[in-house]
Structure 1
Amino acid sequence: MAHADDKATGIGDVLQNVVAWPIRILFKLIDYPVTAIQNVIGIRRMPWLFLLPNLAFFGMFVIIPLFMNFAYSLTGGTELFISERPYTGGEQYGFLFDCDNYADPISCREDRFWKGIFNTAVFIFFQVSFMVLFSLITALVLNREIRGRGFWRAVFFFPVLLSPVVVALIWKWILLRDGILNAFLISIGLDRILFFVSPEWAMFWAVFVSIWAHMGFYTLILLAGLQAIQPDLYEAAEMDGTRKERVFFRITLPLLWPNMLVVIVLALIKGVQVFDEVYVLTGGGPGTATQFIVQYIYNTAFTNQVQNFGLASAASMVLGVVLFILTLTQLAATRRRDND
């Protein structure tokens, strides 16, 4: 019996050596040039060697397009190549901000741009408010000892894994004139509702679908914050006979606030960038009721009969400034949370 075990061990060692042999050869082939480069540039500069591919990718697809976009925003005409486009300076920006009353999009020369901003602001107000509220409630429930807690956590996080286009197609199938929801309404004796014809319904479902699709991610952040709170604080409050609502407002909410701030800023950034799921769901309609700022940029540059790349680039630069400010706020909030 021992002889059989030794034989099996020997065969296993042989197979392991056969599998490991090409890996060792590969590592040696990689080691020679890396060692040579290290001898030339020094060990302290080696991290830059490994960062170089990522930096090159970032520069090619982020930095260079950003400068190209800024250059396009200073030109006019309909030509594609920037060398063929006339320089106009800040004319595109002036056209965007030429308004008699900024609160009234109709009074602006480029009313579609301001209508997109107005729609985006309305969307963000409702979407972020209810997103944070529902994420907080869900995190509080999932943080308790309930049956199937792991299952329910997975259920709430699952929509985050879906593509925004898939999410929009699923809900569009539900909300169509002959969709599942209208079939249910008819079955209980009610009239069907044309959800994508009414501006109010279209905006409501744009907000609802966005919350449904992304709430799990923010719930996860808040749940991590709740689990970081020391249980001793709750035990001390319970021994003092503190009411539950007082515990929430005096212990839970203050300690969870850094996570809440991160969630709010991230939701704002995501809300400003909303495009794909709403574009598939409503197409920006009815009319321009759900046309947000990113869709305005997309339509201006690519789908309008006259493609105005300069105007679209100027609008995207304005959007980029807003996102940059929100990103700095998010970084500051994260740093403050880490320091606390």
Structure 2
Amino acid sequence: MAAKQETKDGLGAQIMRVVAWPAELTFRLLDYPLTVLQRLFGIKAMPYVFLLPNIAFFGIFVVLPLFINFAFSFTGGTQLFLTDRVYTGTEQYGFLLDCGSYLDPVTCREDRFWKGIYNTAVFVFFQVFFLVLFSLITALILNRKIRARGFFRAVFFFPVLLSPVVVALIWKWILLRDGILNAALVSLGFDKILFFVSPEWSMFWAIFVSIWAHMGFYTLILLAGLQAIPPDLYEAAEMDGTSTERVFWRITLPLLWPNMLVVIVLALIRGVQIFDEVFVLTGGGPGTATQFIVQYIYTTGFTEQVQNFGLAAAASVVLGVVLFVLTLTQLAVARRRDDG
């Protein structure tokens, strides 16, 4: 019996050695160049050696395209390569900013650009407000001791795992003239609603689908903040007979503010950059009712018959500056609130 056990143990050890052999070989092959680098640069420089591939990747695919885009914004023509393009100075920016009244896109020389800005501002205002509100309410509910809490947390987070294109296609299938929602309305005796024909309905569903798709991510951030609040504070407030509303405004919200700031900044940046799901859902229509600034940049630079790379680059620079200013403003307001 003991001999059989020893044979079984020996066979198991051999199998483990065979399975572990590729990993062991890989580690040995990696160990040699790392050892050489450590001898050349010293052990203190090794963190920078490990960071170098990421820095190089970031520089090539993020920083370098930013500089190329900035250079394109000062050029004109239809040529693709920067060396073949004509330098036009700030002409592209002047074309974009030439308006009789910045509050009325019709008076602007490039009215589609300002219509995109107007649509984006409306979208961001309502989307960010309701996204943060619903995420906060959902996080507060999921933080309570309710039945199947883990299940509901997974359900609310599930849409985040889907591709924005998949989300848009699902909701487009639901909202089409002969889609599921209209079929339900007809079965209840109502008339069909052409959701993608009315500008108001199109904007509403663009905001709704965006909130539905991304709310789980921000709920998770707020839920982590709620769980980090010490339970002793709530127990002390309960012993003092403090009302639920006062506990929320005096304890929960102030301690949750750092997470709220992260959520607001991320939601604002993503809202301004909205493109993929709305482009698939409405195509920017009807007309230009849901054409946002990123779609304007995309169509101007890539899909129009005459591709204006310089104008698209200038519009993207303007968008980047606006995002940078908004982020700095939010951070400054938050810092002043913390200092006060």
Q: Normalising by structure 1, what TM-score?
A: 0.95
Are residue 224 (structure 1) and residue 244 (structure 2) matched?
no
Alignment of structure 1 residues 1-340 onto 2, 5 Å: 1-326=1-326
CA distance in 1, matches of 2:194, 2:17: 68
The residue identity in structure 2 corresponding to 1:259 is N
- The offset of 1:276, in angstroms, is 0.2
d(CA) in 1 for partners of 2:327 and 2:19? Answer: 47
Residues 162-194 of structure 1, C-alpha deviations (whole Å, 9 max, x = no match): 000000000000000010011111111111100
* Deviation sequence 1:23-69 (CA, Å, 0-9, x none): 33332222222211221122222222222221222122111111111
Q: Measure, in 2, the Cα distance between the counterparts of 1:26 and 1:130.
A: 50
Tell me how far 1:290 sits from its aligned partner.
Answer: 0.3
Name the amino acid aligned to 2:40: V
Q: CA deviation at 1:2?
A: 2.4
Alignment-mate amino acid for residue 203 of structure 1: M
Q: For residues 211 and 246 of structure 1, do their structure 2 counterparts lie closer, same or farther at Cα, with a shift above 3 Å needed?
A: same
Output the CA distance in 2 between the equivalents of 1:280 and 1:21: 48
Q: Partner letter of residue 321 of structure 1?
A: V
Amino acid in structure 2 at the alignment position of 1:187: S
Give the drift of 1:16: 2.4
Post-superposition Cα deviations, 1:131-161, rounded to whole Å, max 9, x if no partner, equal 0110011011101111100000000000000
RMSD across aligned C-alpha pairs, in angstroms? 2.1
Unaligned segments of structure 2, at least 5 residues: none
Unaligned runs of 5+ in 1: none
Which amino acid is 1:229 matched to?
I
Identity in percent: 77
In the TM superposition, residue 262 of structure 1 has moved relative to its aligned partner by: 1.1
**Number of residue pairs matched?**
339
Q: CA deviation at 1:22?
A: 4.0
Structure 1 CA distance for aligned equivalents of residues 20 and 26 of structure 2? 10
- For residue 192 of structure 1, give the secondary structure of its aligned residue in structure 2: coil
Compute the displacement of 1:330 (Å).
7.5
Deviations 1:195-232 (A, max 9, x none): 00000000000000000000000000111111111111
Comparing 197-206 and 236-245, the one that deviates more: 236-245
Deviates more, 1:15-24 or 1:204-213: 15-24
Q: Which amino acid aligns with 1:150?
A: G
Deviation at 1:80, TM superposition (A): 1.4
Alignment partners' CA distance in 2, 1:328 and 1:38: 41
